[in-house]
């Protein structure tokens, strides 16, 4: 699974990730009947229905708000969150497999901080790997 990350996997495909930052609005929250797509720390990318791909071999899980988390032994201190994917793919994936498609994807890179995760600036090269099979 996530090897040493101490995350609570509620099922094989669902996960809870404790964040260091406690912002009032989170992806998946609702305001006046509308769903919040991203929050502070997220990078928004217009995909126009195109796919996002696994940048390395790894595992994916969905949280209670519908966001997909990707972990990889290639970069073990990081966890990557993708919100806005339609029909996200969960489980073990090989590099280049589709994580899902989106009109707009909200991306966040999370760095392990003791028992919580801090949102950090994403690496452009990593994002490029997720947009090309």
Q: What is the mean pLDDT of the chain?
A: 84
* Of residues 96, 82, 93, the one with CA closest to residue 38: 82
Contact 84/73 with Cβ under 8 angstroms?
A: no
DSSP H helices in the chain: 124-131
**Tokens 């940048």 belong to residue:** 55
C-alpha Rg value of the chain to the nearest Å: 14
Q: Would residue 124 be called left, alpha or beta, if left means φ above 0 and alpha means ψ between -120 and 50 degrees?
A: alpha
Instruction: Say how far apart CA 108 and CA 22 lie, in whole Å.
Output: 15
Predicted local confidence at residue 23, as pLDDT:
65
10-65 pLDDT per residue, tens: 445 677 776 666 666 677 777 777 677 777 778 888 888 999 999 999 999 999 88
Structure tokens that stand for 98 in this block: 């589709």
- At residue 20, the pLDDT reads 66
- Determine the average pLDDT of the residues in 78-83: 96
Contact indicator for 26, 69 with CB cutoff of 8 Å: no
């Amino acid at each position: 699974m996530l090897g040493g990350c101490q995350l609570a996997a509620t099922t094989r495909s669902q996960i809870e990730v404790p964040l260091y930052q406690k912002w009032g609005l989170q992806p998946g929250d609702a305001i006046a009947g509308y769903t919040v797509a991203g929050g502070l720390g997220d990078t928004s990318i217009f995909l126009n229905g195109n796919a996002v791909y696994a940048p390395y071999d790894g595992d994916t899980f969905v949280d209670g708000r519908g966001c997909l988390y990707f972990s990889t032994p290639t970069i073990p201190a990081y966890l990557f969150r993708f919100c806005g994917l339609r029909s996200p793919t969960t489980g073990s994936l090989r590099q280049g497999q589709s994580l899902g498609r989106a009109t707009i994807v909200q991306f966040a890179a999370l760095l392990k901080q003791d028992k919580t995760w801090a949102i950090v600036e994403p690496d452009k090269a990593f994002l490029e790997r997720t947009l090309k099979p």
